[in-house]
Amino acid sequence: MNNMNPREIRLRVWLIAVTTLATAGLHWATPAGPHAWHWVHLVGVKLYLVPILLAAAWFSWLGIACVTTTVSALYLLHILLDWRGYPMVQAEQAASVATFWLLAVTASWLFGRIRSALEELRAAHEDTLTALASSLELRERYTAGHSERVRDYSLMIAERLSIRDPVELSNIAAGARFHDIGKIGIPDGILLKEAPLDAGDWNEMRRHPELGATLIGRIPFLSRARELVLSHHEKYDGTGYPRGLSGGKIPLGARIFSVADAFDAMTTKRPYREAMSLEDARGAISAGKGSQFDPSVAEAFLGMPVAVLAEIAARHGVRHQEAKAGIG
């Protein structure tokens, strides 16, 4: 339940409520006792199990207990009214309530085991992803921490843009982590070159978004991040690569990432140049609005305090003079 957003929680509660009321309506609408439609009455009793199973699949034990209590109360009330004056029949019918609670406990345990197994699988995936992302740093050591900084900058921008969808945020985080993974396919003579790249070198280097997209596109749970990896060097005015996309044709995650990536590249030292100050890099981002960067994304980024940017950088291995001087 912790991974669900409020809208998803409301939708699931609504579905359980509707299922419970529909079941109670069907059960109550058909009279008890032998008659031509008695089978409908019996089906209604069995359908009470559905909301219990839904609660077990979606919520914690508290949610399951609330749903099972409601179902039990509706069922018992019907027994008291329909079988008034027949205490033995009422007692026999009421035994079904024990079935409701037995199912609730069993389903809660089983779904809990499934969630635990999925969490262990997710953690294993995270470890694999970390190892995969770190493999590039073994070759390109001066970019150590780059993907983590860009991921955190990107998620901060997304927050300022009021992006709350967990799936979209997860895609942005994954895309940021693996945006340069395609550089694994770039020869060392180009990737590690300390002099400025020539035209032929750049032609080779510009292949890395497509190489990276091809690589992670083969991994099902990373497939949605593929577009960010493929588009992270596109520019808002259409002069980027590899597809020359412009404006809103560039995926939003890639437009967010573009600002974060450029800022981190400017503010970290490379073999062929020194790092820019945070304020100078912010000025360059401002100057690039409408050409390299989406103006609304750039504005969201520029609204972030310098101290926050410095703290993110420091968290992943880069200390800036502004942070040391207490500026921002």
Residue 28: predicted pLDDT = 76
Name the token pair of 94. Answer: 């009421």
Residue 56 has a pLDDT of 92
How many other CB atoms are found less than 10 A from the CB of residue 33?
A: 10
User: 113 and 149: one domain?
Assistant: no
Phi, psi (deg, nearest 5) at residue 83: -115, 35
**Per-residue model confidence as pLDDT tens for the chain (328 residues):** 555 667 788 899 999 999 988 888 887 777 666 666 666 777 777 888 899 999 999 998 899 999 999 989 988 887 777 767 667 766 777 777 888 899 999 999 999 899 899 888 878 877 776 777 677 667 666 666 888 899 999 999 999 999 988 888 988 998 888 888 888 888 888 887 877 888 999 999 999 999 999 988 877 777 788 889 999 999 999 999 999 999 999 999 999 999 999 999 899 877 667 778 888 999 999 999 999 999 999 999 999 998 888 888 888 877 776 554 444 4
Here the tokens at position 60 are 């914690």
Q: Are 177 and 312 members of one domain? A: yes
Token pair for residue 251?
A: 């995926």
Residue 289 structural domain: 139-325
Q: Select from 118, 153, 171 the last residue of a domain.
A: 118
User: Do residue 169 and residue 33 come from a single domain?
Assistant: no
- Of 88, 118, 148, the residue at which a domain comes to its end is 118
State whether 194 and 312 are in the same domain: yes
Comparing C-alpha atoms, which of 163, 149, 148, 174 is closest to residue 226?
Answer: 174
- Provide the token pair at 39: 């089978």
My answer on whether 188 and 114 are in the same domain is no
For residues 151 and 275, state if they share a domain.
yes
**Helix segments in 138-183, DSSP class H:** 146-160, 166-178
Beta bridge partners of 293: 289
Q: Find out whether 303 and 225 touch, Cβ atoms under 8 Å.
A: no
Reported as a single tens digit per residue, the pLDDT across 127-163 is 776 777 677 667 666 666 888 899 999 999 999 999 9
**Predicted local distance difference test score (pLDDT) of residue 197:** 84
Residue 152 lies in a domain: yes
In a domain, 133, yes or no: no
Same structural domain for residues 228 and 320?
yes
Contact 208, 190 (CB under 8 A): no
CATH (domain of 287): 1.10.3210.10
Nearest-10 Cα torsion for 130, 318, 255, 236: -140
Same domain, 95 and 184: no
Domain count, the chain: 2
Same domain assignment for residues 320 and 206: yes
Q: Is 167 exposed, middle or buried (0-12, 13-18, 19+ CB in 10 A)?
A: exposed
Q: Are 289 and 271 in contact (CB under 8 A)?
A: no
